[in-house]
Chains A and B, each alone.
Chain A
Amino acid sequence: MIHLHVEGEAVNSKLRIHETIKCDVLIIGCGGAGLRCAVEIFEKMPGTRVIAVTKVPHPQKSHTSTAQGGLAAVDPDDPVDSPAYHMFDTWKGSDCMADQNIVKKIVESAWTQVIWLENHGMHFSRDEAGNLSKRTFGGHTLNFGQSSAFRAVFEADRTGKGIVDTLWGEALKGGISFINQSIATELLFEGKRCVGAVIFREKYGDFVKVLARATVLATGGSGQMFRVTTNCRQNTADGLALALRAGLPIMDPEAVQFHPTGIVGPGILASETLRSVGGILRNRDLEPFMERYAPRMKELAPRDLVARAIEKEIREGRGVLNPDHNVEHVWIDLRHLPDYVHDVQIPEVTGFFRRFVNIDPRKELCPVRPSNHYHMGGIPTNEFGEVQRGAKETVPGLIAVGECAAASFHGFNRLGTNSLLELITMGKIAGERIIEYLSQDPDTLPEVSPERTFSLFARFMDEKGEENTGRLRQEMQAVMTEKAGVFRTEHGLSDAVDSLRELYERAGHTSLSSKSLRMNQELVQRWEFDNLLAISMACALAALNRRESRGAHFREDFPERNDEFNHHTLVYMSEFGKVDFGKRPVDMSIYAAGGENYEKFGLIERKY
């Protein structure tokens, strides 16, 4: 079949539902969280019809696979560590914005999850005695902040890949149906109940209506909002935009994490492991500057503190300019580390420097600077992963897990290794909830029709003008990085809002060079750009609204944390740029229960 160039009406006549598929569970996104959820359903309820949609050509390629460092889990037999310490670290790291019911639930079931993965063939690294190896990570401590904790299990520096490979096999064993290289363009509702989604299959250029008794959003992050990001190309906030378009809120969109050590150039993450094995951050004068910012934890302070320290060094003229990319950076010094560490503990990461920037970390200093890394905010859910319409009311039939969701386990700053823990745990919990849901819910699926998809795509097809989506996207990323990045101000954020409005308007003057629906990356990029603009706008407006500094959200004009803002922000967007704010209280049940060490879970000061 040779695809002909078709114009106008011919294209619009293709904007129709090609096929309707019915299933029990539709999972949108095939990273760790989505697949873990699927596998839980197959284990407890074999024969369930599960369809999983992935944006990438193959489920094994999801972004979870790039997670390097590890998975935090307290072994109950560990003589020195305790789940209470892990909960405290997460709470403190979140700057008092994690929900304590979620923190307790996830931390307490962590070790069970490690055993589950191990039993299903995941290959954790072992020490010389044959036991699971563990490493330290920023913000993870013993005895409520006294010393660094060896808490993260790992598979060399490809822990995420090990998880995805394991789950991929398990999901296939269970009989999952994958729809590869496809995007969800609209959630379908019958009244207030979610009954599936419209899926656009890029490979065939057609739309499929998937009706499901439960729908899971597991679409991952939104890193492409920023110029320098460790995220994949595909992380364009699709799930969040899907929720917003359905009239649902997103929570804390301003809570964006910048990883301190992105590699200058490709923006790839130089794992926190580099600092945990002894890498030292140095400025232009080769001063180990972290000693000034976090005298106790130094390089192992949480990510937001290290990122701000680096940005501050650069702003005060102690950075180094890279001529290729015209960006300033600091160094990470790995030269003093023994060969064994380079070869065995961090081979993948030192390989990045060698391959991508032509630098030998054994002999040379390596250039790093903060890089967008993780979105703590997301689609609000309760402790079972059920999506919330407001502070309490949930949406029947709709679940969100993983980075696209905010339960919230991470609050305003995520600790390293806590994301893998969250996604496998919440994936499992959501799976359990779905099973309950399926056994109660009658097996009926209504006939509903999409309302927005075709007008949206017709608009993209019909747009005419000289603008180019790729360039507009770069402009947006530059605006967000400069105005809504590591340091934020009232003035800068207002500028960002204006620029985003202008970019939205200009996006209407792009034109596609091919009007074919089949394998048209320009069309998909146009759709992604709409998603990115919407979430960037929500992020900038929420950041403007939060006149305080908390975790990764740092306002230079309001540098202190303020108890007045001790709540999550819910953002609704009825049309582009028009938002309503709601509030959700932070769960402090560990504190309220008043057990042993309860005072550690109050509104504590965050110093490292």
Chain B
Amino acid sequence: MTQGTETIDITLKVWRQKGPEDRGRFETIEVKDVETHMSFLEMLDVVNERLTLEGKEPIEFDSDCREGICGMCGAVVNGIPHGPEKAMTLCQLHMRKFEDGDTIVVEPLRARAFKVVKDLIVDRSPLDKIIQAGGYISVNVGGAPDANAIPISQELAEKAMDAAACIGCGACVAACPNASAMLFVSAKVSHLTLLPQGKPEAARRAIGMVRAMDACGFGNCSNERECEAVCPKEIKITNIARLNREFIKAALFSMEK
């Protein structure tokens, strides 16, 4: 059930960048005796501890809950946001997935709209601007004496539930050749629009959020499906189809401009 502690030696090629204006470069770090039960981020912790003991600057990276729910961690590992394992955040990736002698390339989640703050940290606050443009409910449909006054069918609830799983990590943006945030936008639009309390302002939401996304410098969707492949919460691109329908409906029939 549990195995003895195994170790591997790896070579890290990690992106180092002092600030947004710095050009940045890859740094090669040999890391010996990595215990395979460690997570990828624990491995980076060990590397950082060794770096600081040598008087060198540690690698800056984001992480918080380390459970895969907060959406704070994320880096491109060997070319794939959150690394090679399906349906995982970076903090869930473990060193047992790597072999002794492997070279691992680590880069930030790059996108035109996400500026590199330092090393592996990018600024994901443009996602705020998108949410601000409609990712909420402002019409109070309830005033209902009881939340059960509007029963929601389980099928509908499940669909909305799957869309609401988005943790806003930004991996979809980094994976997309167009650096589009369509999967993120569509997840929020689907979650809110599928539920009765979100229906009244569906048109305003779809138009507002897509417009904000464009304004922030995110690209558009050209059905590459890379986003779906890397999403740690397995959000489906059928949500993008729903967003497109909502957007067209709104653009054609709604008074919202």
Contacts and interface: CB of A to CB of B under 8 A. Distances in A.
Interface stretch (B66-74, B98-106, B213-221, B238-246): B66-74
A66 B67 contact: yes
B52 A120 contact: no
A541 to B, nearest CB: 30
A278 interface: no
Contact of B123 (A57, A165, A324): A57
Central interface residue in B4, B65, B125, B136, by most chain A CB within 10 Å: B65
Interface stretch (A14-22, A87-95, A154-162): A154-162
A315 interface: no
A118 B148 CA distance: 10
9 contacts: A58-B127, A60-B168, A126-B153, A324-B5, A325-B37, A356-B92, A470-B48, A513-B55, A518-B19
B18 A3 contact: yes
Contact of B154 (A126, A233, A514): A126
Nearest to A178: B128
A498 interface: no
Interface string B111-148: 00000011001011101100110011110111110111
A519 B1 CA distance: 41
A348 B140 contact: no
A333 interface: no
Contact of A324 (B2, B65, B191): B2
A123 B191 contact: yes
Interface in B11-36: 18-22, 35
A177 B211 CA distance: 21
B72 A58 contact: yes
Contacts of A86: none
Interface stretch (A127-135, A182-190, A418-426): A127-135
Central interface residue in A3, A265, A324, by most chain B CB within 10 Å: A324
Contact of B72 (A61, A118, A161): A61
B217 to A, nearest CB: 18
A143 interface: no
B241 to A, nearest CB: 20
Contacts of B146: 75, 77, 115
Q: Identify the 9 closest CB pairs spanning chains A and B, nearest first.
A: A130-B151, A169-B136, A119-B142, A172-B132, A61-B72, A519-B118, A121-B137, A118-B147, A324-B37
A422 B5 CA distance: 42
A127 B57 contact: no
Contacts of B64: 56, 61, 63, 232-234
A120 B137 CA distance: 5
Interface stretch (A357-365, A402-410, A499-507, A576-584): A357-365
Contact of A172 (B2, B4, B56, B131): B131
Contacts of A115: 142, 144, 146-147
Interface of A: 1-3, 56-63, 65-66, 75, 77, 114-115, 118-121, 123-132, 155-156, 158, 161-162, 165-166, 168-170, 172-173, 178, 180, 203, 232-234, 265-266, 268-269, 322-325, 348, 351-352, 355-359, 364-365, 367, 468, 470-471, 513-514, 518-519, 521-522
Contacts of B178: none
B136 A121 contact: yes
Central interface residue in A121, A172, A364, A514, by most chain B CB within 10 Å: A121
A213 B179 CA distance: 42
Given A120-B136, A123-B191, A131-B151, A161 B131 contact: no
A44 to B, nearest CB: 14
Given A3-B18, A126-B154, A66 B70 contact: yes
A519 B52 contact: no
A270 to B, nearest CB: 11
Contact of B68 (A77, A129, A355, A514): A355
A519 B121 contact: yes
B183 interface: no
Contacts of A172: 128, 131-132, 135-136
Contacts of B123: 57, 203
A166 B53 CA distance: 43
Given A119-B140, A268-B66, A56 B72 contact: yes
Contacts of B69: 65-66, 158, 161, 348
B218 to A, nearest CB: 16
Interface stretch (B157-165, B223-231, B248-256): B157-165
Contacts of B147: 114-115, 118-119, 124, 132
B60 interface: yes
B13 to A, nearest CB: 21
A170 B137 CA distance: 7
Given A158-B69, A169-B135, A514 B57 contact: yes
